[in-house]
């Protein structure tokens, strides 16, 4: 292949369920694939619902050209922030009131901080204690690094209790509720102005999801990133496993669902790679000539 034949691709990778398994295990084949693709001249960026406060060093240490974070509220290329979609103070207050009126636990994300409802840290701690033995056993069996097994406790420590969320620049909310009817009632109230993507967060049992103003999603942010990079959307590859990847699938020229994704999510993609624990990212990269 001559230099004139080279087709530079921009790959957008989801994190949970795509790059990272059960919040702990990072397949070595995925790490190697990302690094090799970049060595070969391709661009590889994260595309995640997580904020920077939830992206641990082990993930960032892989090396990426940029990241779409907070479900599309922010996006950066190198050290440059190219997308910033913040909620207004009125929107944040409206969400907080809607959650609290229904007993829904929540945390708000800013670019690099998290602000939790009063009961959420204790709820996470209780779940961590109950599931600790099973979690460690399963994660070690899957090849996880023992140093990565404190995901939830580390996450709790990142909640900011020195600044009130009303004084921060909030981009997105994450919810957790045991009452499905309460969530349905909340959805009915917020639907005209907010989008809610259910079941995307690896949190305790019950209903979970992400809440952001309509129009804030991975796909919209990716289009802005591609324009900034001068890359045509037809040369973009999006790889994910959950409903918050739907808009990413829509805008990327090649949409790839993980083999561990639900059948309904797989149906949204152009193709399906193998599961995360079966070298899914590596196999997708190889199939498209990135390696």
Q: Under CATH, what is the fold of the domain 3-85+216-287? A: Rossmann fold (3.40.50)
Q: Read off the pLDDT of each residue in 68-81 and give the average, rounded to a whole number.
A: 96
Confidence of residue 200 (pLDDT cuts 50, 70, 90): low
pLDDT at 25: 81
Q: What is the pLDDT of residue 154?
A: 34
Domain(s) labelled CATH 3.30.1240.10 in the chain stretch across 89-213
User: Which of 256, 99, 142, 127 minimizes the C-alpha distance to 202?
Assistant: 127
Pick the CATH number of 89-213 from 3.90.1150.10, 3.40.50.720, 3.30.1240.10, 3.40.1670.10: 3.30.1240.10
Please compute the mean of the pLDDT values over residues 175-196 and round it to a whole number: 88
Taking each helix axis from N to C end, the angle separating 89-101 and 180-190, rounded to the nearest 10 degrees, works out to 150
Confidence of residue 134 (pLDDT cuts 50, 70, 90): low
Q: Is the pLDDT of residue 81 over 70?
A: yes
Pairing label, strands 10-13, 236-240: parallel
User: Does residue 153 have a pLDDT over 50?
Assistant: no
- pLDDT of 59 reads 92
Task: Assign 276 a pLDDT band (cuts: 50, 70, 90).
Answer: very high
Q: Quick one: average pLDDT of 9-28?
A: 90
End-to-end CA distance of the chain: 14
With beta carbons less than 8 A apart as the criterion, state whether 201 and 210 touch. yes
What predicted TM-score, i.e. pTM, was given to this entire model? 0.86
Orientation of helix 280-287 relative to helix 28-39, angle to 10°? 30
**How far apart are alpha carbons 98 and 102 in whole angstroms?**
7
What residue ranges of the chain are covered by domains with CATH 3.40.50.1000?
A: 3-85+216-287
Residue 83: C-alpha distances to residues 43, 74, 111 (Å): 18, 5, 11
Paired strand residues for 115: 108
pLDDT at 277: 93
């Amino acid at each position: 292949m001559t230099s004139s034949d080279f087709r530079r691709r921009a790959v957008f990778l989801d994190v949970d369920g795509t790059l990272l398994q059960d919040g702990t295990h990072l397949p070595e084949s995925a790490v190697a694939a990302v690094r090799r693709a970049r060595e070969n001249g391709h661009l590889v960026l994260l595309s995640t619902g997580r904020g920077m406060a939830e992206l641990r060093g082990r993930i960032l240490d892989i090396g990426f050209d940029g990241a779409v974070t907070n479900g599309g509220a922010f996006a950066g290329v190198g050290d440059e922030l190219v997308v910033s979609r913040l909620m207004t103070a009125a929107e944040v207050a409206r969400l907080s009131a809607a959650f609290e009126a229904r007993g829904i636990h929540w945390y708000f994300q800013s670019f690099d901080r998290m602000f939790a409802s009063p009961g959420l840290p204790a709820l996470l701690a209780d779940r961590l204690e109950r599931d600790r033995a099973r979690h460690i056993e399963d994660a070690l069996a899957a090849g996880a690094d023992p140093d990565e097994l404190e995901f939830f406790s580390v996450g709790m420590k990142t909640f900011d209790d020195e600044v009130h969320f009303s004084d921060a620049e909030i981009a997105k909310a994450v919810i957790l509720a045991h009452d499905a009817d309460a969530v349905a009632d909340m959805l009915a109230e917020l639907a005209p102005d907010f989008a809610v993507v259910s079941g995307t967060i690896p949190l305790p049992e019950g209903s979970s999801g992400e809440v952001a103003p309509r129009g804030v999603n991975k796909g919209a942010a990716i289009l802005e990133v591609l324009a900034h990079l001068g890359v045509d959307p037809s040369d973009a590859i999006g790889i994910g496993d959950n409903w918050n990847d739907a808009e990413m699938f829509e805008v990327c020229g090649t949409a790839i669902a993980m083999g561990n994704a639900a059948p309904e999510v797989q149906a949204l993609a152009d193709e399906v790679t193998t599961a995360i624990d079966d070298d899914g990212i590596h196999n997708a990269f190889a199939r498209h000539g990135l390696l």
